Amino acid sequence: MGTQILWLSNPTQTLTTRVTTNKKLRQPPFLAYPKPRTLISANTSQTPHHNTRRSANYQPNLWNFQLLHSLGNDLKEKKLNERATELEEEVRHMINRVDTEPLSLLELIDNVQRLGLTYKFEEDIVKALDDKIALLNENEKHKSGLHATALRFRLLRQHGFHVSQDVFERFKDKGGFNIEHKDDVQGLLSLYEASYLGFEGENLLDEARLFSTTQLKQILEEGVNTKVAEQVKHALELPYHRRLHRLEARWYLDRYEAKEPHHRLLQELAKLDFNMVQSQHQKELQELSRWWREMGLTKKLDFVRDRLMEVYFWALGMAPHPHQSECRKAVTKMFGLVTIIDDVYDVYGTLDELQLFTDAVERWDVNAINTLPDYMKLCYLALYNTVNDTTYSILKETGHDNVFYLAKSWGELCKAFLQEAKWSNNKIIPGFSKYLENASVSSSGVTLLVPSYFLVCQQQEDFSDKALHHLTNFGGLVRSSCTIFRLCNDLATSAAELERGETTNSITSYMHENESNEEEAREELRNLIDEEWKKMNEERVLDGRIPKGFMEICVNMARVSHCTYQYGDGLGRPDHMVENIIKLLLIDPLPVN
């Protein structure tokens, strides 16, 4: 007889029972769909108890339902899969060759990564680095130039190897980094990229970043050929370690020169893989668009953002690989609801209403809708049913219950939203540290990371008490990723928030507390982002108790934060830049011969 499955209505209970039955799981009984009363419109004239409702005047959705359902790469999937499998084996053989020179191997691995193929060759790459690169003798290391040394350092740290910053000491003299390297563009670019893998307190890598940045800017000013200039500008804009790697693969593929036979093999495989994975993403997007339309919140609540495409892009940034489909779907659903409920707190709800909604979410009881005003009932039911349905899907997929963690994350998120609403409503500018403590939670990062954790760590042996502790207590890698999310958001959205009457963001709090100007505040936020990245870098290398897959999800959330807010508010006010980025990743396939 199979193990009994318990469906919990109280999130303070936990369920540790593994699913061992082969019987088909039924839909959970705690999904609730009572018939809602007549919904009060967002129109202010229909809310006599509060007739000064605000509006953020969000732009309409750029991606209509018909457009999304017209997508589809014309792929002969069986034939392409057969060719891709052949190419994979050839590339795997290239990585595992015993006679490859260390620098050639490093450059091959770097190309594999930049072309978006890491997930196919992760084990081969780690084995090659372990067998042929990590244990190079001192004589071989000393013969290596700046490019080879920096590339070796970066790739080893990226894949969790502990390597000392001292490998760069021999490129210094008494005055700092040796000026004889000032014209070595390839070496400077590699040193620049390596410097972003630094830990807290690694001053030598801070020096390396300053030196390489200064010299690369000088090279641009003096003039170089167009291709080199484009590469340098791209790196200086944002280093590879902080870029969204699937988007970077698209950028790199558009510029990749296949000079040698093995380059052509790599290029062909990367293009085939990009298009096949894009086709999968399009199918997921179409499925999610049906869910979004059937939920209907954006039609009923005309003050909220309609951003399914943008939140799917975010989910894709966090979990880009083909086998992470369920993770992408869960994150899309959670983040789609976050954008709507955030707008309820930021734009429309009164403090009394928001307190009622927060209490209802903390209770996690469907009967709590009876305490809510009509326009909130649909929000609450959508949240309650989607979270419980996601919990059911995760339990069915992995055998692990996460209702306690997911419901708790939503309770904490709504409390943080409420605190910000109180500050804004009462024109209070909190102290900077107090603001950031709350705002890192209100970023919604934990709400996205909880389902990701349970879907990435599908086997019992993958689970980690420390990772769960970070999720429930907002610590370590989770805290750093969420803080970067918040700071990137505030750097991009503070002006629009002030326009609609909000008083609280990290820039205004820092300026108020330190009597500084806006540029000084922005510089401090950028410095804090650097500090959080250093913490994440160190934890990835030195803490073996966090599952590697979950570490990568946390790091990817920081990366997609940089991408979404790099040029402005890519979620609230997406412009043509954001539209083009999404097209490159989700709409336009690569040309393949």
Phi, psi dihedral angles at 68 (to 5 degrees): -60, -35
The class that CATH gives domain 97-242 is mainly alpha
What per-residue confidence (pLDDT) applies to 180?
87
Q: Average pLDDT over the chain, rounded to whole?
A: 86
What per-residue confidence (pLDDT) applies to 355?
97
Q: What is the pTM of this model?
A: 0.89
What per-residue confidence (pLDDT) applies to 458?
72
Beta strands in 398-509 (DSSP E): none
Residues of the chain with CATH 1.50.10.130: 97-242
In this predicted model, what pLDDT tens digit does every residue of 439-462 receive, in sequence order? 999 999 999 999 999 999 876 666
pLDDT at 31 over 50: no
pLDDT at 14 over 50: no
- Distance (Å, whole) CA 100 – CA 235: 28
**Range with the lowest mean pLDDT among 203-217, 358-372, 388-402, 511-525?**
388-402
pLDDT at 236 over 50: yes
**Separation of first and last alpha carbons in the chain:** 55
Q: Name the band, by pLDDT with cuts 50, 70 and 90, for residue 38.
A: very low
In this predicted model, what pLDDT tens digit does every residue of 98-112 receive, in sequence order? 889 999 999 999 999
User: For the stretch 390-417, what's the b/e string if a residue is b when 16 or more beta carbons lie within 10 angstroms of its beta carbon?
Assistant: bbbbbbeebbbbbbbbbbbbbbbbbbbb
pLDDT at 198 over 90: yes
Q: Are 236 and 213 in contact (CB under 8 A)?
A: yes
Is 1.10.600.10 the CATH number for 271-587?
Answer: yes
Instruction: Provide the angle, in degrees to the nearest 10, between the axes of the packed helices 308-318 and 445-456.
Output: 50
pLDDT at 274 over 50: yes
Q: Are 154 and 194 in contact (CB under 8 A)?
A: yes
| 579 burial type by CB count under 10 A (0-12 exposed, 13-18 middle, 19+ buried) | middle
**Range with the lowest mean pLDDT among 6-15, 412-421, 453-462, 463-472?**
6-15
Q: Name the band, by pLDDT with cuts 50, 70 and 90, for residue 37.
A: very low
Give one DSSP letter per residue of 297-316, joined into a string: HHHH-TTS---HHHHHHHHH
pLDDT at 239 over 80: yes
The first and second tokens of residue 344, run together, are 């309820």
At a CB cut-off of 8 Å and minimum separation 6, what does 24 contact?
none
Residues of the chain with CATH 1.10.600.10: 271-587
What is the three-class DSSP state of 476? helix
Q: Name the band, by pLDDT with cuts 50, 70 and 90, for residue 28.
A: very low
